[in-house]
Amino acid sequence: MACVWRHPKSPFWIARFKATSGVFSNRSTKETNRRKAEEVARSYEDAAQRLGRGEHHMRVIRDIASKYFENAAVEVSFKTYAETWLKRKATEEVSPGTLVRYRQITDAFGEFLGSKIDRNLVFLSAIEVQTFRDQIGARLSAKSANIYLKTLRILLSEAWRDGHVIENVANKVKTLKVRENQTARRPFTTAQIETLLANAPGEWKGMIFFGFYTAQRLGDIATLLWSQVDLEKTVVHFKTAKTHRTVEVPIADPLRDFLKRLSAPERATAPVFPNAHAVVTKEGRTGSLSNQFYEILTAAKLAEKRTHHADKKAPKGRSGKRQTSALSFHSLRHSATSALKREGVNDATARDIVGHESQAISQHYTHIDTDTKRRAISKLPVLKLAR
């Protein structure tokens, strides 16, 4: 016999019903009224029994959706809802890079669905989401597949709140296990960074300098403006795109000397690295810059050249997983953190410089002052830069 229950922190009643297999299931009724919720619960149990008797799965889902979920009765396809969802995200506090990634993932799932992209969203199944996850995991990596899956969970969660689906089927799909033997990022040695600098063209020398002496991410350095750089007080301010935190980093002496050699900007809002800034502004992501940095790695003989073999059956004409390098621009961040810890800088100070959340700071409201960070930064090794 179907029944309902409600979690103390949720306004909605949950239906508990028995399928023909004898296994009990729980599913939200999306009702705050108990009597209506009980009616929905009975319909769930009836649907489970009907499915057990061999009735067409899609017709049963459609019948329930049209009766109890007003919006689900409307023909809203994945294609239509994905566009609505992306427009909504564009108006929220979502970084341009995240928005680009969301579109890339919804486009990929739409391509996977094929002709089913125009089917009512209520018919989407967990097995379809799981198959998509597995295909991405086979082509890219388990970590990438999990990002794709989590994005679909977010989209379908909002579709559920909007009343277009009975449940979020992506929540039934587990994330893939990320194997420990997958390539892990590692820090550069000081000699390797100097080799990079010797092979780096144009703006890249300065970006590598910033990567090591400020320990910030590639996107935040590429979009840095001169207004964020205070040479008089020798500090630079970052508003990190990933965490939205404001980070103040003292300018190390080698970095200050480098900045003084650059041409004075015409306006304070000018980017420090105009070419890199233009790439990120146009593309909304750092993918092209990461590829450029990899070319510097190969020129410095710190990485092997990437090769792709054409395959008409593979997505975008490429087969096999893209090999992940243990070294990347992000490794400069690891290099700075490792160097600070080698010099005995405490964890809270190192985390504050890098921009990581510190348990000590969040729990005890510890304020890491600029002088403390300056003393820590001064312990970083001096890089040799060929003029």
What is the rounded distance in angstroms from the CA atom of residue 173 to the CA atom of residue 262? 52
Give bridge partners of residue 26 from the DSSP assignment.
Answer: 16
Question: Percent of the chain at pLDDT above 70?
Answer: 81
Q: What is the CATH number of the domain that holds 292?
A: 1.10.443.10
What is the rounded distance in angstroms from the CA atom of residue 196 to the CA atom of residue 206? 11
One domain for residues 203 and 290: yes
One domain for residues 202 and 163: no
pLDDT of 96: 79
One domain for residues 372 and 226: yes
Q: What is the mean pLDDT of residues 345-356?
A: 82
Residue 369 pLDDT class (50, 70, 90 cuts):
confident
Q: What is the mean pLDDT of residues 276-289?
A: 89
One domain for residues 162 and 196: no
Q: What is the CATH number of the domain that holds 113?
A: 1.10.150.130
In a domain, 179, yes or no: no
Give CA angle at 213 (301, 361), nearest 5°: 125
Instruction: Tell which residue, 50, 54, 28, has the closest CA to residue 41.
Output: 28
In a domain, 102, yes or no: yes
In a domain, 24, yes or no: yes
pLDDT at 111 over 90: yes
Mean pLDDT of the chain: 82
Name 57's Cβ contacts closer than 8 Å, sequence gap at least 6. Answer: 51
Q: What is the mean pLDDT of residues 63-84?
A: 71
One domain for residues 222 and 332: yes
In a domain, 196, yes or no: yes
In a domain, 301, yes or no: yes
What is the rounded distance in angstroms from the CA atom of residue 376 to the CA atom of residue 337? 11
One domain for residues 157 and 215: no
Instruction: Tell which residue, 330, 113, 354, 150, has the closest CA to residue 245.
Output: 354
Which of 127, 142, 172 is a domain's end point? 172
One domain for residues 282 and 349: yes
Which of 172, 206, 224 is a domain's end point? 172
Q: Which domain holds residue 252?
A: 190-307+325-377
One domain for residues 163 and 197: no
Give the total number of structural domains in the chain.
3
In a domain, 39, yes or no: yes
Which of 146, 172, 198 is a domain's end point? 172
- In this structure, what DSSP letter does residue 188 have? P
pLDDT of 57: 54
